[in-house]
Structure 1
Amino acid sequence: MTILPPEPNLDALRLQLARLRGERGWTYDELAARTGLSRRTLIEIEQGRTIGSLATWHALGHAFELPLGGLFSALCEGHAPPGRTP
């Protein structure tokens, strides 16, 4: 029997990006300058049209001074992370 992991909460991840950007008062242009990513990429991620690559999230983590684990913890919103009981 194969046990599949729960679906990642991609909405929570994009909303976390919007929250982090908003908390700092950064525009898309400012975040783009801090990450080297395009403004369009950032908008598309926040609007849920794309998820972005690992390299994209790595750049975002550096801009927000957060480890990837801190950013990606939002993916488990709504279910217990691996190794933890609900």
Structure 2
Amino acid sequence: MVERRVTVGWPEGLHARPASIFVRAATAAGVPVTVARGDGRPVNAASMLAVLSLGAESGEEIVLASPDESAEAVLDRLARLVAEGLEELPETV
């Protein structure tokens, strides 16, 4: 299991528009990814309803994880997206 702990950088948290950006990026990642609020129960990062159900606020820590050991670069890119509150997935880290 590979994981990254990251602080949500979007001012509105992981809600509505930022959640849709994150879900699209997680879906396009090509590997299974989960997201959890702090040490809470992980949910499918490719599911809009699941991500919204987390209620992650700006400045809160979330955990991105994947059972795929080759997901290091994917998780780095997703972590950067979340931490910097970007509008799209960065090409590289």
TM-score, reference length from structure 1: 0.40
Greater strand percent: which structure? 2
Larger radius of gyration: 1
Greater helix percent: which structure? 1
TM-score, reference length from structure 2: 0.38
